[in-house]
Amino acid sequence: MHSGESLRSALIDCAGRGRLPDFLSRLSRRELTFLRHDWEVWAHPHQLPPTGDWRCWLLMGGRGAGKTRAGAEWIRALVATAQGGRTDDGLRIALIAETHLDAREVMVEGVSGLLAVHPRDERPQWQPSRRRLEWPNGAVAQVFSSEDPDALRGPQFHFAWCDELAKWRHAREVWDMLQFGLRLGRRPRQLVTTTPRPVPLLKEVMADPETRVVSAPTESNAAHLAAGFVAAIRARYAGTRLARQELDGELVEAREGAMWSREGLDAIRVRQIPPLERIVVAVDPPASSGKRSDACGIIAAGIDEQDRVHVLADRSLAAATPAQWARAAVVLWRDLDADCLVAEVNQGGEMVSAVISNVDPGVPVRAVRARRGKWLRAEPVAMLYEQDRVRHVGAFPDLEDEMTDFTREGLSNGRSPDRLDALVYALHELALADRGTPRLRSI
């Protein structure tokens, strides 16, 4: 068998001379397996770790730019090159995603995740009940969620891979706890793979002198995406802020003239929910269903005895059928033991209440009609924020994207601000109208 280096050199040489099929046909199964997992051969430059001394590698890329594969291969290489093979304590790694489900389905079991990138005989053992991966040489990776910062108190690590940091629910607390835990080895390091959003924490990480920032557009990985995907998505979103963020991997600052600012929303973020007097779930149904339909905004909020509103959840759905969004709204209503479900009926009229009733006839539905434009409806709600009467319990990235992009002209991508509309209905119901005697409870 050829050495790894000679195989790599021969592959590159034959590819350059147009003789790749002939070269591959003469290789053994073992050699083909080696080349398949030889990441340096297949990786794009942005998918390989930066050179030099750094503590954080920040890989910001568009959708499909190969961020997950880069993260999984980085972890695989760290484990493979751990000094001395099996160590007394073993390499300790943190894997952090927005939720535990995201970590499992993307970072661990995904098509570009940790299990997929390893050759079969080197593959770590995944223990779902313990949320950890164990390698044959003693290395261990533990999975964490941005929803539970306290889980990072105590464990310590050599390395960490943080996925989609710009979407983390309790980003600041989780990041801080991780920094305290990165204390093993001679040079602890972390990789952040994320689609950029101008959230304060991400901007701070970018500005850190020990961070190496690498950006990559979706096109950089086009060879591994469905034929025509990039062209189709570019044609649809060309010139929009969404394209710059989601396709170009560009950090787009808040839109001039937007009703809300990132800094303002970050300042009202809390973790604890006080006893609430009233909770509502608000729904902004789409006018149609299907792949090109607007999303269905589904937002929950509650008000406390100090008359302060707390935004509790965003369960909005894209391309959902009436039965699907009605079910999601009812599930949230049940989860929070909400008082009523507020539904906008401009588009569907009595059908909206009927669809919800089909899921659960016991849900009290309050139908509302929008009689003014979206900007005028949102102004009183924005004033509640200015009066310091609103709190966000954690982060709601998609909702907050709409809030900080919303101007008198609407959203920059021309679409309907469905999550924001649902938020407006919820806060109008709780804080801008008299709804009778409240009941006090905790959730």
Determine contact, residues 341/363, Cβ cutoff 8 Å: yes
Please report, rounded to a whole number, the percentage of residues in the chain having pLDDT higher than 70.
88
- pTM of the predicted model as reported, rounded to 2 decimal places: 0.71
Find the range with the poorest average confidence among 137-151, 291-305, 383-397. Answer: 291-305
> Does residue 230 sit in helix, strand or coil?
helix
> Does residue 20 sit in helix, strand or coil?
helix
Given phi > 0 = left and psi -120 to 50 = alpha, else beta, which region is 69?
alpha
| DSSP letter (8 states) at residue 66 | S
Mean pLDDT of 73-98: 82
Alpha helices in 208-366 (DSSP H): 229-237, 241-246, 262-267, 322-335, 350-359
Nearest one of 319, 325, 320 to 344, comparing CA atoms = 325
CA distances from 25 to 11, 13, 17, 19 (A): 12, 15, 16, 10
Chain mean position to CA 423: 20
Determine contact, residues 328/321, Cβ cutoff 8 Å: no
Give per-residue pLDDT as tens, 155-167.
999 999 999 999 9
Find the range with the poorest average confidence among 219-223, 322-326, 336-340. Answer: 219-223
Chain mean position to CA 73: 20
Give the confidence band of 222 by pLDDT, cuts at 50, 70, 90.
Answer: confident
**Mean of the per-residue pLDDT values of the chain:** 86
Which segment, 9-18, 137-146, 250-259, is predicted with the most confidence on average?
137-146
Which pLDDT does position 23 carry in this prediction?
A: 72
Give per-residue pLDDT as tens, 116-136.
999 888 899 999 999 999 999
> Does residue 428 sit in helix, strand or coil?
helix
Q: Which residue has the higher pLDDT, 356 or 244?
A: 356
Per the structure block, which two tokens stand in for 34?
A: 């080696």
Find the range with the poorest average confidence among 19-23, 24-28, 238-242, 363-367. Answer: 238-242
